[in-house]
Structure 1
Amino acid sequence: MKIKFYGYNAFLIESGDKLLAIDPGALFFYWFRFTTLLPKSKWQDITHIFITHGDPDHYWHADRVAKISNAPVICNKTMLRNVNGKVLALGPRAKGVAFTTEFKKIRTLSFDETIEIDGMTVTGVKVTHGELVLRIGPFTTIVKPGLEERIGWGSIGFDINVNGKRILNLGDTLLHEQEWKKFVEPDVLMIPIGGKTARNTMDEEEAIQAVKAIKPKLVIPCHYNCPGLFSKSLNPADEEKFKQGVGALGVQCSIMRAGDTIDICGE
């Protein structure tokens, strides 16, 4: 198994005949206008698309990747709604909470629900997207998830069992220490650590608590030090401090930069 990281929560996982994409979102930073995180050269080879929620950095290109790859999309049931007799998904580039997009292939699940798809089992994991604190110069704006807010819409984590390996991806979430104890000992845990300033996810200390509860074999911290808007890091974190804390628990931690690949042996 090979795991390649593209920043934020964007990953490609290659295992056997499968190429799993997690959160094919976009980057919006200075003069870049929502450029893709996952390279377009990889889109056609993707076999399955996992969406943790509807924020642009996680979801912006989902329909485009699905169209080119013909891959099924796996997401929370709340990402879909019946509109005039048609089942439509939250529009990746629609303004606000608008259900405008029809996917050719889509599988949905809820928290603690397990589905089987193409030889994999996938279980929905309880997560909660936190409020987002944005600071631009002297101004501070706080956006809170809610019925009328796009932020964090459809949030869910995934416990993916593929070819005998378990990958646990938590998307953007606050700490759910007790609920996550049922997902113990995955081979890989992908966990956000950049919530100290932005507050939309766990910070380093909270993520270490989660690692202690989940007891993974390998941890990959993500969704921190991400560029966005006019900041080089909307959600700063000290990844080395996190790695030391994880190491003190006897758990391996891999710090990945955008473009890095790691091999998971023993498949």
Structure 2
Amino acid sequence: MKIRHFLYNSFLIESGKNKIAIDPGQNLWIFNLSSLIPETEWKSITHILITHGDPDHYWQADRVAEASNAPVVCGKELAKVENGETLLVDPRGRGLTSWIPFKDAHPLDIGEAVILGDVKIEAVKTVHGPISVPILWFRIRKQPGPGERVGIGSVGFKITLDGKTIVNLGDSILQTEWAGLKPDILMLPIGGPGDNAWTMDVSDALEAVKLIAPKMVIPCHYNVAFFWIKNIASADDQLFKREVEKLGVECSIMRYGDVIEI
């Protein structure tokens, strides 16, 4: 099995005939506004998983689905049914004003699972925290909730294929319900900027590792760009790695395009 990382929470998981894309979103650096997962990879993707509807996680989902004809798995709040047709929030729409059809969409509630080919995908509880971003001398704050686009459809995934399990927690604050998941690989955010953050920080992520008891951890969604801000959601990944390894758990720090094999 091969895992590739493309910043934020964007990953490709390849094993045998399966190529799973997690969060095919947009790079938000104003000098490189491009797809996180390279377009050269789109056609060969077999499964698309969306942890929520923010642009860095969701922006390219419909385009990847069109190029690959792959099924899309997401949280139920990202979808609705009208006249028997499943619609998802428009990845590049404004707010919740537009919804578009996906050919093969599988919205899941927490605890629900779907088997697509020989891949099992189960929805895991996540909670997206509020976003607070400095813009010039202002600070923009968005609170997830009913009628809000921020964090819509927030969900994590437990993926089972070829005898291995991978848990990806998207953007989430710490949840006690994660206890005992025990995956082979855990992908979790560590770049929460203090109180009222939209994700865990290093301290909370370490608590999550203790709860979940994985064999290997991949930290993500930290030290990333946001428009003209070069480094938002800052975190000390080397500190996190040292503390994880004290727990007897392997930790892999991955940069853009890095590959690991397990």
* Rounded Cα–Cα distance in structure 1 between residues aligned with 2:22 and 2:66: 16
* Rounded Cα–Cα distance in structure 2 between residues aligned with 1:88 and 1:257: 34
* Rounded Cα–Cα distance in structure 2 between residues aligned with 1:137 and 1:248: 40
Q: Say whether 1:173 aligns with 2:172.
A: yes
Q: 2:225 aligns with which of 219, 224, 227?
A: 227
Task: Give the C-alpha shift of residue 83 in structure 1.
Answer: 3.5
Q: Which amino acid aligns with 1:149?
A: E
Equivalent pairs: percent with the same residue?
48
Contact 2:86 2:105 in 1 (8 A): no
Q: 1:257 aligns with which of 229, 241, 255?
A: 255
Contact 1:133 1:199 in 2 (8 A): yes
* Rounded Cα–Cα distance in structure 1 between residues aligned with 2:70 and 2:241: 35
Task: Give the C-alpha shift of residue 84 in structure 1.
Answer: 5.3
* Rounded Cα–Cα distance in structure 2 between residues aligned with 1:45 and 1:86: 26
Task: Give the C-alpha shift of residue 122 in structure 1.
Answer: 1.4
Task: Give the C-alpha shift of residue 212 in structure 1.
Answer: 0.4
Which residue number in structure 2 is paired with residue 111 of structure 1? Answer: 110
Contact 1:88 1:99 in 2 (8 A): no
Q: Which amino acid aligns with 2:155?
A: I
Q: 1:188 aligns with which of 175, 185, 190?
A: 185
* Rounded Cα–Cα distance in structure 1 between residues aligned with 2:126 and 2:256: 24
Contact 1:19 1:47 in 2 (8 A): yes
* Rounded Cα–Cα distance in structure 1 between residues aligned with 2:6 and 2:238: 19
Q: So what's the TM-score if we normalise by structure 1?
A: 0.94
* Rounded Cα–Cα distance in structure 2 between residues aligned with 1:120 and 1:47: 10
Q: Which amino acid aligns with 1:226?
A: V
Contact 1:26 1:57 in 2 (8 A): yes
**How many residues are treated as equivalent by the alignment?**
261
Contact 1:136 1:230 in 2 (8 A): no
Matches within 5 A, 1:1-267: 1-33=1-33, 35-83=34-82, 86-176=85-175, 178-183=176-181, 185-197=182-194, 199-264=197-262
Cα deviation digits, residues 78-131 of structure 1 (max 9, x gap): 211134553211110010013421111111211111222111211110000000
Task: Give the C-alpha shift of residue 133 in structure 1.
Answer: 0.9
Structure 1 stretches of at least 4 aligned residues deviating more than 6 Å after TM superposition? none
Cα deviation digits, residues 135-190 of structure 1 (max 9, x gap): 123321211102222110000000000111100000000000x200141x201000
Larger mean CA deviation between 86-95 and 17-26 belongs to 86-95
* Rounded Cα–Cα distance in structure 2 between residues aligned with 1:254 and 1:32: 26
Q: So what's the TM-score if we normalise by structure 2?
A: 0.96
RMSD: 1.3
